[in-house]
Amino acid sequence: LSDAPQQDEVIAAYKADIGRLIDEEGYQTVDVVSMVPDHPEKAAFRQKFLEEHRHSEDEVRFFVEGQGLFTLHIGDRVYEVLCTKGDLISVPANTPHWFDMGPNPRFVAIRLFNNPEGWVANFTGSDIAQRFNRLEN
Ligand SMILES: [Fe+2]
């Protein structure tokens, strides 16, 4: 990939893997999300998913570059999952979780959706996320 790959380049590079996941899981749409440390709105983007929330569909991400910290709250346990290049994560629908891209975010991730309209963050109102680790660089 180039230094700042555009969506089409990323999807073309991972075409075979994307196709396999679509065949296996039935995803309907695919896109690419990326963030760089000099993004002018990085703080706002980081803040957006820092508190505990749920989605009505699976949150599926394949990390092509960089990193991000998913934290999953399942029952009375909390699991921190640092995703880096080559990692595929699927946060099951309705699982309380939060995501931290860090203060100097850098990542490129492929998103796969069963139903993109279902991917709305429903915040639980809990402050639990504030009591766990943040991603620091
Ligand atoms: Fe989420």
**CATH code of residue 96:** 2.60.120.10
In a domain? residue 100? yes
Q: How far is the CA of 55 from the centre of ligand 1 (A)?
A: 6
Q: How far is the CA of 78 from the centre of ligand 1 (A)?
A: 15
Residue 99: give the domain boundaries: 7-131
Say which residues have a Cβ less than 8 Å from residue 71's Cβ, sequence separation at least 6.
Answer: 78, 79, 80, 81, 97, 98, 99, 100, 129, 132, 133
| Cα separation, 52 vs 25, whole angstroms | 26
Q: How far is the CA of 121 from the centre of ligand 1 (A)?
A: 6
- Could you tell me what percent of the chain has a pLDDT over 90? 91
| Cα separation, 101 vs 108, whole angstroms | 11
* Helix (H) or strand (E) segment spanning residue 137: none
In a domain? residue 113? yes
Q: How far is the CA of 3 from the centre of ligand 1 (A)?
A: 26
Report the b/e string of 69-98 with b at 16+ CB within 10 A: bbbbbeeeebeeeebeeebebebeeeebbb
pLDDT in tens, 15-66: 999 999 999 999 999 999 999 999 999 999 999 999 999 999 999 999 999 9
Residues near ligand 1 ion, CB 5 Å cutoff: 59
Q: How far is the CA of 8 from the centre of ligand 1 (A)?
A: 24
In a domain? residue 23? yes
Mean pLDDT for all residues in the chain = 95
Q: How far is the CA of 48 from the centre of ligand 1 (A)?
A: 10
Residue 119 has pLDDT above 90, yes or no: no
| Cα separation, 60 vs 89, whole angstroms | 6
Q: How far is the CA of 111 from the centre of ligand 1 (A)?
A: 12
In a domain? residue 15? yes
